[in-house]
Structure 1
Amino acid sequence: MGIVAMRHWLTLPLPWLAAASAFAHDVEEEHATGETLGWGAEWWVLALLALSLMLHVVGARRLWLRMSRSRHRFARQAACFACGWLVLALALASPIDGAGSLAFSAHMVQHELLMIVAAPLMVLGRPLGVWVWALPSSLRTGVRPVTHARAVVLFWDVITRPVNAWILHFAALWMWHVPGFFQAALRNNGIHALQHASFLFSALLFWWAVLGKQVGSGARGHAMISLFSTMMHTGALGALFTFSESVWYPAYGDSAWHAFGLSAVEDQQLGGLIMWIPGGLAYVAAGLALMAGWLAVRRPTMLMGADR
């Protein structure tokens, strides 16, 4: 199988597979027992993380042995996946996960790790093609007809169009920060799982539209507009939290004070600053990196034209 075919396989179910491991921690048990700041997660979350890593190791080894070219690019992709996997594990299985049940600011750190660190790294890592190569050859043969089915390809094309991906990510961010929805996620495991899966799923779509379709000036323009507008609306939401004097999520109670010495308003304002400043800078950094990459590609082309 060629590298192009492997990359095509990546584009189809990546958000579903990655988002499946983003389900939330057991908020119901943590509120009942008070045991939150430990390492670990529910067994199936750990199993999904372990399975994704095992498949990548096996698939990467098989692909590496078959490659005669593009090894340097493949190594970069593998490094991106490894970093993304580590960030995902940190967000889901470290004390950050449990702290999100105690403080809005910690919850915001977790969400930012999922959406602006793990998601773009996973997109750059292109793991699905590698995972497919970890399967037995009989199963690999059966995957291609599914991923190339007309309905699947059409659905993927629709949801990854820049405007559609932007809308889905915007909707997920703003909807889940409505007090009723956010507090429901704090009290119920299923809703909390849906919240985290929505964040990661929409972020994967957003970053695929930004990083995965860099063909032509039109795609570049869409990528920069998506990054700038997302920086603006997430910054606006962060500013609302930062400057608000009223508590949006009273379901936290005094847990932030007992755990971290922060009042409910201070905790909320800190969470807003985390979304506003570091979150906004991440989109700026992504835009600058994209521009540097485009200029690096354009410069050799211009030099070759000047030599003629």
Structure 2
Amino acid sequence: MSDGNAWLPYCGSAPAPAEWLHRWNFDPVLLFILALTVVFLLRQPGASARDRQLIVTAAALALLLFVSPFCALTSALFSARAVHHLLLTAALPPLLMAACPRLHVPGRALLWTATHAFIFWSWHVPQAYGWALSSDLAYWLMQASLLLSALGVWSAVRRVSVTNAIAALLGTMVQMGLLGALLTFAGSALYAPHFIGPIVWGLSPLEDQQLAGLIMWAPGAGIYLAAALALLARWFARERASALAG
């Protein structure tokens, strides 16, 4: 497969600006699985009103990622794919963790941090990325492995000590920022599925890739930094309260 027209990603061929808002994905199998998952989570024992609100929010995010026209946009723009991967790994997992207090992924924080970094980088190897966009099975393998490894990280962050949680978040921030920097400063476009799609959007393939790198580098890494700072602030607040109480 030598050009963007030859790739057949799960979300369909790369859309032009005039059509992409009409490119909804009504895959019945996907919709059934999403609906079944939402019903199961909403019926979990002890779910509070806040938990249900978070579950609905997580469901809305999943619809944005895989059903809305944004799914099709990721076939055209690698920068849209970068946003997709960030939402999949840095927004959806903490939402699910907050919505499902009993959700637990076993494993050490360091192990999950390293595993997630390995999986994230592996899928951004051009050949692996190209395979994911040429097969539905490979596409869902990519999505599932990214999501599950991210759930492992966020689950560990929730249950380990503050220092270990901050280390896991900062480690993920560093690997995300490093990958973003490499993509930003690469001298050529690396991803064959996006050699053509960006052009009709007014971007060269290299500009699209650089934008994707900047998204990973700044807002992407920033999410993990913000989470680490929030944990640190919460820890300081608890220590201050304990000191005042003592």
Taking the TM superposition and a 5 Å limit, the aligned residue runs for 1:144-293 are 157=106, 160-211=107-158, 213-214=159-160, 219-258=161-200, 260-293=201-234
Instruction: Give the 3 Å change call, closer, same or farther, for CA 297–83 of structure 1 in structure 2.
Output: farther
- 1:11 maps to none
Report Cα offsets for 1:227-250 as digits up to 9, x if no partner: 112111110100111111211112
Instruction: Give the 3 Å change call, closer, same or farther, for CA 32–117 of structure 1 in structure 2.
Output: closer
Distance between the aligned counterparts of 2:211 and 2:80, measured in 1?
A: 9
State yes or no: 1:47 paired with 2:32.
yes
Distance between the aligned counterparts of 2:142 and 2:43, measured in 1?
A: 31
Instruction: Give the 3 Å change call, closer, same or farther, for CA 181–303 of structure 1 in structure 2.
Output: same
- 1:98 maps to 72
Q: Which has the larger radius of gyration?
A: 1
The answer to whether the 8 A contact 2:15-2:75 is kept is no
Distance between the aligned counterparts of 1:164 and 1:252, measured in 2?
A: 33
Q: Which runs of 5+ in 2 are unaligned?
A: 1-7
- 1:57 maps to 42
- 1:31 maps to 13
Instruction: Give the 3 Å change call, closer, same or farther, for CA 208–32 of structure 1 in structure 2.
Output: closer
Structure 1 residue 49: deviation in Å? 1.6
Report Cα offsets for 1:107-128 as digits up to 9, x if no partner: 1111111001111111121166
SS in structure 2 at match of 1:245:
coil
Pick aligned residue for 1:122 from 73, 96, 105: 96
SS in structure 1 at match of 2:12:
helix
- TM-score w.r.t. the length of structure 2 is 0.86
Does 46-55 or 35-44 show the bigger shift?
A: 35-44
Report Cα offsets for 1:15-71 as digits up to 9, x if no partner: xxxxxxxxxxx72682399886522342121112212222333446xx36xxxxxxx
The answer to whether the 8 A contact 2:14-2:72 is kept is no
Report Cα offsets for 1:128-153 as digits up to 9, x if no partner: 67xxxxxxxxxxxxxxxxxxxxxxx9
SS in structure 1 at match of 2:75:
coil
The answer to whether the 8 A contact 2:14-2:75 is kept is no
Which amino acid is the alignment partner of residue 233 of structure 2? A
Q: Which runs of 5+ in 1 are unaligned?
A: 1-25, 65-73, 130-152
SS in structure 1 at match of 2:39:
helix
Which amino acid is the alignment partner of residue 42 of structure 2? V
SS in structure 2 at match of 1:262:
coil
- TM-score w.r.t. the length of structure 1 is 0.70
Figure out how many residues of one structure are paired with residues of the other and give that number: 236
Distance between the aligned counterparts of 2:75 and 2:102, measured in 1?
A: 32
Which amino acid is the alignment partner of residue 223 of structure 2? A
State yes or no: 1:111 paired with 2:85.
yes
Distance between the aligned counterparts of 2:15 and 2:86, measured in 1?
A: 27
Structure 1 residue 77: deviation in Å? 3.5
Q: Provide the aligned C-alpha RMSD in A.
A: 2.4
The answer to whether the 8 A contact 1:39-1:93 is kept is yes
Structure 1 residue 168: deviation in Å? 1.1
Structure 1 residue 205: deviation in Å? 0.4
Which amino acid is the alignment partner of residue 265 of structure 1? L
Distance between the aligned counterparts of 1:32 and 1:87, measured in 2?
A: 21
Which amino acid is the alignment partner of residue 217 of structure 2? W
